[in-house]
Amino acid sequence: MSNSTAQNESLNQLVREGALRPVLLQEYIDAAMRHAVCQWDTDTWVAEVPVLPGCLSDGATREEALTNVREAIESWVIGSIRHELPVPPIDDVVLAHVVDLNEDEEG
């Protein structure tokens, strides 16, 4: 069993138990944005989302950096899905794409 399959089975179990709630992309992005950290770095604002490794962006203003990192989150998630990399749960939500919403309860 691959790590990805094992992780998905684990996430499915947490959804069944009510510990995680499957959501669509925009709500997942909103959850990630609650973890965004924005700081001034020499000559630009940098926004980073520590719960999504490597997900960051910058901008001339704090607002622009946060707008850009929202787009970066979407790209990060889509890229992870395309390359079959894990998309982690954030707080109490998990991207609906990574769990089997039609899984048979007896399976």
- Looking at the DSSP bridge assignments, the partners of residue 59 are 45
Q: Is residue 103 part of a domain?
A: no
Mean local confidence (pLDDT), 42-54 = 97
In a domain, 87, yes or no: yes
Residue 105 lies in a domain: no
In a domain, 106, yes or no: no
Residue 32's domain spans which residues? 3-98
Enter the pTM of the model.
0.84
Query: What are the angstrom distances between the C-alpha of 7 and each of 1, 4, 66?
Result: 10, 5, 30
pLDDT greater than 70 at residue 102: no
| Position 72 in a domain | yes
3-state secondary structure at position 89: coil
| CA 72 – CA 29 distance, rounded (Å) | 10
Instruction: Count up the domains in the chain and report the number.
Output: 1
Q: Which residue has the higher pLDDT, 100 or 27?
A: 27
CATH number, position 63: 3.30.160.250
33 within some domain? yes
In a domain, 104, yes or no: no
For the chain, give the mean pLDDT. 89
pLDDT in tens, 64-88: 999 999 999 999 999 999 998 989 9
Mapping DSSP to helix (H, G, I), strand (E, B) and coil, where does residue 87 land?
coil
